Structure 1
Amino acid sequence: MTRIGNSDLDVFPLALGGNVFGWTADRDASFEILDAFVAGGGNFIDTADSYSSWVPGNHGGESEEIIGQWLASRKPSNVVIATKVSQHPDFQGLSANNVRSAAEASLKRLGVDHIDLYYAHFDDPSVLLGETVNAFANLVSDGLVRHVGVSNYSAARIHEWLGFAHRASAALPVAIQPHYNLVHRDPESAIVPLAQEYDISLVPYYALASGFLTGKYRSADTAGDSPRAQGAARYATPQGLRIIDTLEEIGKDHKASIATTALAWLRERPAVVAPIASASRSAQVHDLLASAIVELTADEVHRLDEVSQPDPV
């Protein structure tokens, strides 16, 4: 287990992404995935109130509802639930009233009395940041939320959030959720140094680049493939394919899959506590869990650093 920032949340160093629940995984498949994750030692589940509102016929909250049904059915111990606010069709933005109403709706769907880690999903420049910070702080003081996080915020805005929180003696963010993986290393310029300076943990999403870093998509041709294939295939550039080849070579030495090796690299990055990865079938969970025990050598990390180095242009 590993600790999120300076909080009391001890988590398995891989978070299970709930974005597929109610989308590419129905209720039964989702239960099987969650069962396999917990049976393998996992305890950190990430979702959002908006998942999966983009699916025809869905309205948002489907993922939380499935997780809530699973929690009620299985009654697991020591499971850490993270969810987010600002993108649900009925609760868009980060005004104080919206943050409170969305949190209460998430609690009802999850069937829990508190949210372990509650993220501001996307920055909302239409609302004064101080209002949002205070809204989250009030959720903590009222016992609805244990800890606060931010997702998709710039380093500058996180600095502002920290300033407001310090001045108000409010709950400080313990986690940042950035888009971060071997083919998208943008957070290393500003987010990673900020996280290190303030002892805030990174919980990267798109850790497998929409599935590209599983090695499944080696072509831009995704006709007839899964709903996520188009997002993954855009990384099938010459550099992207070199990254896949390197992951495959390194993985063989560890008897590990491409996906496992990619997650193991990300887990070793500064300030990263637990990459987020999702599975549409329970059979995929093993490779996700395995990333927590694969230890890459310094030379292997260097090879992956070099092959994935962003183009300076």
Structure 2
Amino acid sequence: MTLVISRTIGQQVFILADTRVSEHDVALPRERGVIKTTLLSPQAAISFSNSPDLASRDIRAFRQVFGGTFSYREAVDYFAGSSRDTHNDYLLNFLEPPRTVEIKAGEVSKTVGRQSWIGDLDAFKRFRAYQTEAKLGPDLWEAMTWSADLIPRIRTNPFTRLLRSFQHTLRDADILSAGDFSSVVVSAGAEFRFLYFGNFFFDQDAQGKPVQPLFGENLDFKFSVATPKISGINACAFHYPHADRGYLFYSLEPALVADQCAVYDGTDGKPFAEFCQSKTGVEFAYIEAGHTK
């Protein structure tokens, strides 16, 4: 199944999606996952729920018919038909002007409000619990940073809460329908971009307050998301710096689903960002955040 969230914060649109793929209600290995948001053009992004194979097929067919130039109505009508035929659900986001459209079971609804979603209902309910209640726990246990050229770094940025709530949902052992990694697409000016970011955990003291010691169980945990430095490329990569293990998801052609995965283990001697560039031909932006030893 899937969880995709689209939320407007200020003047920016954020699209968060998990990468997990399941067969017969059993999660496949994480390298069998896919990036569930695809940039159809700099101003249009589509996310899907249910079958990655059918979504990939129909996004490819859409590309063959319209190329990179299409109207809002052409995209909505095309994927409404796809949804009726395949039982896939879609979330379409547009810029200039900003618009979000949910397509569920072939039915089109222009969303009202600042947040939309598709995917598994239980996963969405758990996400809302993390988002709106105290279930998330102290936010300071986890620290993160992101690309300031795409999202302003302010002390109380609501994006932090959004991303943490989403990541907590994917880590939740009771939620099997969504999981593994989270991709983030953000509107930056007049185009959509995949966001690169890094995070790490603080330890906590006996009273449960976050601390940053020189040693501890979370000292070596770091996690980074690398993305292309140029717009219009459907690719997103996930790296555990301490283990030097990574997963690069990418598409073989422009404007198609990133359903190819290359696994990185550091044995070739290349830094992770260079590994991603060698597979895709484009340079990747990368942040590594962690404790100062």
**Do these two structures clear the TM 0.5 threshold for a shared fold by scoring above it?**
no
Q: TM-score, normalised by structure 2?
A: 0.33
Q: TM-score, normalised by structure 1?
A: 0.32
> More helix by proportion, 1 or 2?
1
